[in-house]
Structure 1
Amino acid sequence: MSRSLVIKVTAGADAAERCNQAFTVAAAGVAAGADVSLWLTGESAWFALPGRAAEFELPHAAPLGELLAGVLAGGRVTLCTQCAKRRDIGPDDVLDGVRIAGAPAFVEEALREDAQALVY
């Protein structure tokens, strides 16, 4: 698969189905061989912290911790700079493999040739 998939998730436990859908699509993209970049923004920023995805529950949905682990193993996960600062999250706080970056990096990824950007 040659297209890249850039997914921005803005929801957390406040909109559980939308949040889980974003992680599910990201993990499915990795499984399909796509170049996947998952951006954690807004309330989903908390899932960049160890243990937080494992606390998330949604009936009849794949566990968020497993989905996140799959994306970290085969894709990229980025925490929004401003979202991190607003929540007092620093680089030493996040899971291994999660980077913190801002809007210019998101725009660069989303505007690449053959990129598909989705926002949840």
Structure 2
Amino acid sequence: MAKSLVIKVTAGADGAERCNQAFTVAAAAVASGVPVSLWLTGESAWFALPGRAADLELPHAAPLPDLLAAVLAGGRVTLCTQCAARRGIGADDVIDGVRIAGAPTFVEEILAEGTQALIY
């Protein structure tokens, strides 16, 4: 059985390097053929909205919109239910391909056999 990767990113513009690192690892894993589930929580929740990933600029790093597009193309992107609600983000607001789900789904994913979970 191939290993899968679940990445939870809690940082946004408040932790640009940490945030970009999470997206970079997710995109690299997708490019390597690894099943990836990227969870947007905390301040990274804003990147579920159209155009918001372009707001994060980090020198010498791949652009966040490109990384997000790569993960959406080959993996799964989930916005935390509570994080979305706290920010007034609804299902109709998010980028196509982003789902909104909560802790039970996260727990199910990270406890699946052959899964490695990382939190940034």
TM over 0.5: yes
Deviations 1:57-82 (A, max 9, x none): 00000000000000000000000000
CA RMSD of aligned residues (A): 0.8
Q: How far does residue 4 in structure 1 lie from its aligned partner after superposition?
A: 0.5
Q: How far does residue 49 in structure 1 lie from its aligned partner after superposition?
A: 0.1
- Percent identity reads 82
Name 2:98's counterpart in structure 1. 98
Structure 1: which 4+ aligned runs deviate by more than 4 Å? none
- In structure 1, the gaps of 5 or more residues are none
Structure-2 separation of matches of 1:25 and 1:118: 10
State TM-score, norm by structure 2.
Answer: 0.99
What SS does the aligned partner of 1:77 have?
Answer: strand
Structure-2 separation of matches of 1:37 and 1:108: 12
Name 1:57's counterpart in structure 2. 57
- In structure 2, the gaps of 5 or more residues are none
Q: Which amino acid aligns with 2:47?
A: F
Q: How far does residue 37 in structure 1 lie from its aligned partner after superposition?
A: 0.1
Aligned length: 120
Structure-1 separation of matches of 2:54 and 2:14: 16
What SS does the aligned partner of 1:57 have?
Answer: coil
State TM-score, norm by structure 1.
Answer: 0.99
Name 1:115's counterpart in structure 2. 115
Q: How far does residue 98 in structure 1 lie from its aligned partner after superposition?
A: 0.1
